[in-house]
Amino acid sequence: MTKEKASVNGSNDLKPTLGLFDATAIGVGAIIGGGIFVVTGIVAGLAGPALVVSIAVAAAIALLTALSFVELTSWLPAEGSVYEFARRLISPSAGFLSGWMWVVSNIFAGAAVSLGFAYYLAALLPGVEPRLVAATLCVMFTAINYVGTRQSATLNNVLVTGKVAILLIFAIAGLPHVNQQNFSPFVTSEVGVLYGAYFIFFAYGGFARVAVAAEEVRDARRIVPRAMMLALAVSSILYMVVGVVAVGLIGAADLGGSKSPLSEAISVLGSPALVYLISFGGMIATASVSLTSVLGVSRVMFAMGRNSDLPSALSRVHPRHNTPHLAVLVAGAAMTILALSLDLTGVVAVSTFAMLFYYGSANASALRLKAEMRKYPRFLPAVGLGSCALLMVFAGPSSLGIGALCLIVGVVYYMAKKKRRDHRSGEDRT
């Protein structure tokens, strides 16, 4: 298959307006947020002082899958990412389920980080209602994504720059006060470390967000792979440094009991200004992930609608704003409803289950690439696929149940749509 044959055809096309910095910022914006500012507390409660080991395990699995995305995006820089890869390389049904689970994962992720934003705001302004704050954020970012990709990217660039600077301040301010006794015993439970890796993988899931919007990136075959690897490298280094400092400041037990863990950690320094600054960092970090979650979900819906796997209305492009406006509205509405109805840990767990499913699909798709399209040895996507499957084992029973239910709903929808399509084809032949 040649690159020319792999090009995307269709009347509903989006204009390429994003450069390398924009694309990398989308990836960093999608990665650094819910994970380090929110999920750190959950992981500390599971992995104990070995939180950084959970971060490293999740980073290694993300890297393997990122290499598959580099190969796939170099071959086909299409809106829809893993949906298009699986659809063309495995089967239409595999493509549909990959896209379906991408939508499920990122809707739940958007709700999770919106709740994270609300909890950090509550740390600054006690008495606010977190669910209402989270829902308001979802509505606001839906409106921004509706207006245009360029506007969303510009706002995201500002948010990313701000939160990276605040994380660096956290690390620099906290490092001299790290208590080494908080790391003993270092590994309290090997199983806990793997459970922690499952949850922290939620944080790494955003590295491929830019691939979903590949048609809106200039010179996408070159820029999108670079942006993914840069985003993953920057985020992994920051995660590990901040994770070590956070545990070193207050210990894993106290960190695990907080919904705004980095604010809790920095509070031991006795500086209200630092607490406010880190809380503000948590807000802008989670806000930027929420912003890119709406973008990511809407673009996969757009691609699926363009192929009639979802209602074709979702592929409509706004004549003035050049955005898939109906897909944006549907994505934003779903995130708002989840933010109003589910708890943080449950939302993260379901999102991670669905994420591992579609990233496993991406690795399976990379295995199907022909030799001349490969950049890396064939065993790498095989190991990536196995690692995604292994990590899924550590989803809790309720997460497995909800994730499996979402998958079943997708299967039923696809089969019903295929049956209607086959029925209409039979009537046309007669």
Q: Which pLDDT value is given to residue 369? A: 92
CB neighbours of 180 closer than 8 A, spacing ≥ 6?
A: 248
**Residue 326 CB-half CA count within 13 A:** 15
Indicate the pTM of the whole model. Answer: 0.78
Q: Which pLDDT value is given to residue 427? A: 63
**Of 186 and 252, which is predicted with more confidence?**
252
Residue 344: both structure tokens together: 């943080």
Percent of all residues in the chain with a pLDDT value above 90, rounded to a whole number: 27
Q: Is the confidence at residue 3, as pLDDT, over 60?
A: no
Q: Which pLDDT value is given to residue 188? A: 62
**240 with 52: CB under 8 angstroms?**
yes
Percent of all residues in the chain with a pLDDT value above 70, rounded to a whole number: 90
Q: Which pLDDT value is given to residue 119? A: 82
Domain boundaries in the chain? 20-422
Q: Is the confidence at residue 68, as pLDDT, over 80?
A: yes
Q: Which pLDDT value is given to residue 285? A: 78
* pLDDT band at 409; cut points 50, 70, 90: very high
Q: Which pLDDT value is given to residue 366? A: 94
Q: Is the confidence at residue 1, as pLDDT, over 70?
A: no
Q: Which pLDDT value is given to residue 257? A: 77
**Of 289 and 268, which is predicted with more confidence?**
268
Q: Which pLDDT value is given to residue 77? A: 75
Q: Which pLDDT value is given to residue 221? A: 80
Mean pLDDT, residues 93-121 taken together: 87
* pLDDT band at 101; cut points 50, 70, 90: very high
Domain 20-422 sits in CATH at 1.20.1740.10
* Nearest residue to 209 (alpha-carbon basis) of 140, 109, 304, 134: 109
* pLDDT band at 91; cut points 50, 70, 90: very high
Q: Which pLDDT value is given to residue 260? A: 81
3-state secondary structure the chain: CCCCCCCCCCCCCCCCCECHHHHHHHHHHHHCCHHHHHHHHHHHHHHHHHHHHHHHHHHHHHHHHHHHHHHHHHHCCCCCCHHHHHHHHCCHHHHHHHHHHHHHHHHHHHHHHHHHHHHHHHHHCCCCCHHHHHHHHHHHHHHHHHHCHHHHHHHHHHHHHHHHHHHHHHHHHHHHHCCHHHHCCCCCCHHHHHHHHHHHHHHHHHHHHHHHCHHHECCHHHHHHHHHHHHHHHHHHHHHHHHHHHHHHHCHHHHHCCCCHHHHHHHHHCCHHHHHHHHHHHHHHHHHHHHHHHHHHHHHHHHHHHCCCCCHHHHCCCCCCCCCHHHHHHHHHHHHHHHHHCCHHHHHHHHHHHHHHHHHHHHHHHHCCCHHHCCCCCHHHHHHHHHHHHHHCCCCHHHHHHHHHHHHHHHHHHHHHHHHHHHHHHHHHC
**Of 245 and 5, which is predicted with more confidence?**
245
Q: Which pLDDT value is given to residue 408? A: 95
- Chain-wide mean pLDDT for the chain? 84
* pLDDT band at 231; cut points 50, 70, 90: confident
**Of 74 and 139, which is predicted with more confidence?**
139
* Cα–Cα dist 325/332, whole Å: 11
Q: Which pLDDT value is given to residue 5? A: 39
Instruction: Give the pLDDT confidence of 113-137 residue by residue, as tens digits.
Output: 888 888 888 878 888 888 899 999 9
Highest mean pLDDT among 17-26, 209-218, 359-368: 359-368
Q: Which pLDDT value is given to residue 153? A: 65
Q: Which pLDDT value is given to residue 10? A: 42
Q: Which pLDDT value is given to residue 429? A: 60
Mean pLDDT, residues 160-166 taken together: 85
Is 233 exposed, middle or buried (CB count within 10 Å of its CB: 0-12, 13-18, 19+)? middle
